[in-house]
Amino acid sequence: MSSYRPYQEIQRRKSRRVYVGKVPVGDGAPITVQTMTNTLTTDVPGTIAQIRRAELAGVDIVRVSCPDRPSALALKEIVKEVNVPIVADIHFHYMRGIEAAQSGAACLRINPGNIGSDDRVREVIKAARDHGCSMRIGVNAGSLEKHLLEKYGEPNPEALVESALYHANILQQHDFHDFKISVKASDVFLAVAAYQQLAEVCDHPLHIGITEAGGRRMGTVKSSIGLGSLLWAGIGDTVRVSLSDEPEEEVRVGWDMLKTLGIRHRGVKVISCPSCARQGYNVIETVRTLEDRLAHIETPLTLSIIGCVVNGPGEALMTDIGVTGGGNGRHMIYNAGKTDHTIDGATMVEHIVELVEAKAAQFKAAADAEKLAAE
């Protein structure tokens, strides 16, 4: 018997559910894609513009840093102008958490053990309750508590998990349970092992990520290996790909990861060959152009771009629209897996864009009709 198992057959880890604004996290809710702004939060127009670009890329939740009072107060204007819930990133000063909650943050990224006395923790929890905020405990291998480094000698999975449970216990002692947890590290093996251990000892939703993963290429590789293995094991309720790049690029990589695993689908999934001497057109340039031209499409569909007839017909059978390179500058277009017509290479890109947009509109109309009928 084959050992092949698509993601749909993987048993997701059971967890409780929390909400970030209106977005559900955990307990079987769709795995969400997050990013974080890198503008000065006090640059309200710049921060809003960056969030809107991330929204166009499909972001579900955005984290915004609040290092000082002006930043926390700036959230009030930012929240009003965007369409996704905002997580306020808080470090050390408890008043920033209170101010962020009052300013409309949907979630506070805060480690309660780092903000001082029990009275301060109680004040932050009250603000979160009063304003409908959830929380995220965020443990990072690069900033573990001193006593844990002394105990374990170095960052390791046990230290990360112990830190996470310590902070979680503080919230639970105050009867606050609307939180998720992350235990991030830049080392893939350390992060994965920590999440695996944490997943076994608690039922809180897990925010997964490989922190400080690097630039676009290396960061994508590291994140795909680490997060992909966790998701394949059913671990993870919300993800962030941490790249030294623009936030919208993090979102695109996150979505590509989920699409590849068959977890969630959004936009055009391009299947393309690496090209060789058999190619009937410039595959690499065609794919690069099409990915850019089709980035605005949200409706899920598949497109195969294959340079010759060796693998092209087979791939086209499994995609909504397909292109196979042919001779004499004419290339075969497939529709729903069947040969449909040929197209001249000079006009091929524009023609494919038109076909994909029409197919996306068709799929969306059918989905909308099905949803309306169900209601």
Tell me which residue range forms the domain holding 71.
12-260
> How far is 213 from 89, CA to CA, in rounded Å?
19
pLDDT of residue 329: 85
Model confidence band, residue 1 (pLDDT cutoffs 50, 70, 90): very low
Residues 181 and 240 in one domain: yes
Residues 102 and 225 in one domain: yes
Decide if 2 is inside a domain: no
H helix or E strand, kind and range, residue 247: helix 247-260
Q: Which of 260, 290, 308 is the last residue of a domain?
A: 260
Residues 250 and 272 in one domain: no
Decide if 308 is inside a domain: yes
Residues 221 and 125 in one domain: yes
> How far is 205 from 179, CA to CA, in rounded Å?
7
> How far is 303 from 293, CA to CA, in rounded Å?
13
Residues 182 and 122 in one domain: yes
Residues 164 and 102 in one domain: yes
Q: What type of residue sits at position 220?
A: T
Decide if 214 is inside a domain: yes
Nearby residues of 107 by Cβ (< 8 Å), 6 or more positions away: 20, 21, 61, 85, 86, 87, 88, 133, 134, 135, 136
Residues 95 and 198 in one domain: yes
Decide if 97 is inside a domain: yes
Decide if 6 is inside a domain: no
Question: Residue 293: pLDDT above 80?
Answer: yes
Q: Which of 234, 260, 286 is the last residue of a domain?
A: 260
Residues 251 and 272 in one domain: no
Which segment of 2-6, 149-153, 273-277, 298-302 scores lowest on mean pLDDT?
2-6
In angstroms, the Cα distances linking 9 to 3, 6, 208, 261 are: 12, 6, 21, 11
pLDDT, one tens digit per residue, over 115-133 is 989 999 999 999 999 999 9
Decide if 3 is inside a domain: no
Residues 212 and 314 in one domain: no
Nearby residues of 214 by Cβ (< 8 Å), 6 or more positions away: 222, 243, 244
- CATH assignment at residue 343: 3.30.413.10
Residues 256 and 272 in one domain: no
- CATH assignment at residue 68: 3.20.20.20
pLDDT of residue 252: 96
pLDDT, one tens digit per residue, over 196-233 is 999 999 999 999 999 999 999 999 999 999 999 999 99
Residues 49-59, mean pLDDT to the nearest whole number = 97
Question: Residue 348: pLDDT above 70?
Answer: yes
Q: Which of 260, 278, 304 is the last residue of a domain?
A: 260
H helix or E strand, kind and range, residue 20: strand 18-20
pLDDT of residue 336: 94
Question: Residue 261: pLDDT above 70?
Answer: yes
Q: How many domains does the chain have?
A: 2
pLDDT, one tens digit per residue, over 319-328 is 999 999 988 8
> How far is 315 from 319, CA to CA, in rounded Å?
7
Decide if 4 is inside a domain: no
Decide if 302 is inside a domain: yes
Residues 211 and 160 in one domain: yes
Model confidence band, residue 4 (pLDDT cutoffs 50, 70, 90): low
Residues 26 and 49 in one domain: yes
